[in-house]
Chains A and B, each alone.
Chain A
Amino acid sequence: MEILKCEGVRKIYGSGNNQVVALDRIDLSVEKGEFVAIVGASGSGKSTLLHMLGSVDQPTEGKIFVEGTDISTMSRTQAAIFRRRKVGLVYQFYNLIPTLTVRKNILMPLALDKRKPNQEYLEQIVDSLGIADKMECLPNELSGGQQQRAAIARSLIYRPALLLGDEPTGNLDRKNSREIIDLLKLSNRNLNQTILLITHDEKVALEADRIVTIEDGRIVSDEKRR
């Protein structure tokens, strides 16, 4: 089942002589449950693509469908609600709210929708991520790895269609990186979670089912490994 589809997506920044083409006619299709790594050099356009897929930014041209819904023309409010319900975003620098406890951070997407959490599912996530005993801590009381686990828990709480990771291991040591990748793989397998991961760490990329390589805003290779 196709969960994500990009059709001729272009993103141009600036105007006139200062125009920069960040993405140039990207066509991409991802099936439900796939674990895709997007790799490329710095400035190749991979982060820009991820932002488009997460409806954090909008393409200049082209269409992006997530579960059949075109997200490229959504209003800002529609895009926000879409992000809340359909996308889980994990950043390199965790982006947790420093004044809220880990529990409140994780539950924030549900709270924005005025929904009550499913306690069983919450426990399942935090247990599997190993942060059950850190729920009442503030983010700055946690290590980097623990903060990233909390960020992953937050991204999974709404059972999103897509989990998008922007270099989620980029700020972690080798051991923590390994653990985070294992956790992502676990959610991919156990929850059939579709994951798109940006990385320039070859070892991380090799863990994915599929590796998409971007150069100068274009997909130059799309290799299925499993």
Chain B
Amino acid sequence: MEDKERNIEDLFRRKLEGFEIKATEADWDAIMGKMPMVPAKRRFVWWYWLSGITGVLVALFMIFKPMNSFQTLTYTNQKSVVSEPLRKTSKKVESASNKHNLKNQTKEKIDKSGNLTKRLQSSRKAVSGNQSNAKSTGKQDNGRNRRNHYKAEIEKSDVSNHKTNIPKIVDSPVEIAKPEILILDISPRRPKFDWLTFDVMALNLIALNHPAFALKKEPIDKPNSMNLNFAVGPYISLNRYKQETTSKDADYDKYRKGTEKPAIMPDIGVKITGKYQNLIFNSGLILGFKGQQTAGLVNHRIYDSVPVFNPDSVLIDYFRFNYRDTSTRLRENNRYSYFEIPLNIGYSVRVNKKNNISLTGGATLSMLIGSKGKIIAPNAPNYTLAENDNTDLFFYNRMLTSWQAAIGHTYQLTETITWNTNIQYRSTLGNIYSKNYPVKMNWNNMGINTSLTFKIGR
């Protein structure tokens, strides 16, 4: 009996299982009409806020502080040209001007020991002599007098001894050494698998631009000069994951746990600034060391490498080539292995000296070197260049136009190259407007990624 029933059920199942009734487009329209309009969730994401606030603070700090620090450096350098010969006279001036302090010191020693050395006696004589002179002229021996005296001595010695013109502290080529570089990398990179990295190299960069960290410091106005700074700063990495995986894979959990904890690692930075005839060159290198389980051992960034030609040109304030490399690394996946070297070679023309607006153009060249030579997954979907600067916040202090191009073994990585024209408007504090105009192209061996970025601000 049961077998017979089972046969009947199997027969029904076999006959009706794959039964289909053709659905129509009207059904689809009805489904779309029934779909609820889900408003975008606006939940409070504390780390976004934290990153934003931190970014703003660091950006503001970087915008203002390094300028001042570099102005200090500039001024120090400028001054050093004239201060060198002043040392001879300044000693005399110092001995005379410090008499008041000396008097106090000798008095204290007399009170304590009751004995006077010959040196102290002579000092007291000198002091009393000066005091009597001051009294006779009817002037108080105060700070203003000393400063005036000092200033007069400087001017006197400068004019009489050297006959040199004091270099102007104006729009000098030194200005290019302002940190017009990647300052803060806040990278909410993936919409699904999201992590956030605080790449706070700002402190390091401040240090590298500050004379206090100079290993070798020379006046930049010398025909040939070289400055070398060295500093250590923190690199803070904080990863947060937006969406948990539904996978039960232990390996993934391990990976996630290895990267979700915040990490602070040391950054070691070196920056060199040199001048050779009419060429000025800046270059910096920062090495960040392993901070998380899954991080690379050393992450290096070459930044702010800016050779500047003809810095004193009148027609064009300066014209420069820029090399910026922030992510040279060996990349590998199961399909390909390659070495990526993104280069940013550009130029900059300052068009408005007064308002400090400049136009910068350049090209990013991504070279992909090395390959396993075989495609493991030939049916894999097409890839497009996805790692671009759009997700990163770059702070530039001038109006910027950049061009990026990628040339290399991309034929192994994609069959269809996407040409993205990206127009962005960025304010000092964040990205306000951004739009992509992708143009799909079928170039076999090369692709181009064009982006146009306007930046208004300092």
A binds B: no
B-binding residues in A (CB < 8 A): none
- Residues in B lying within 8 Å of A, measured CB to CB: none
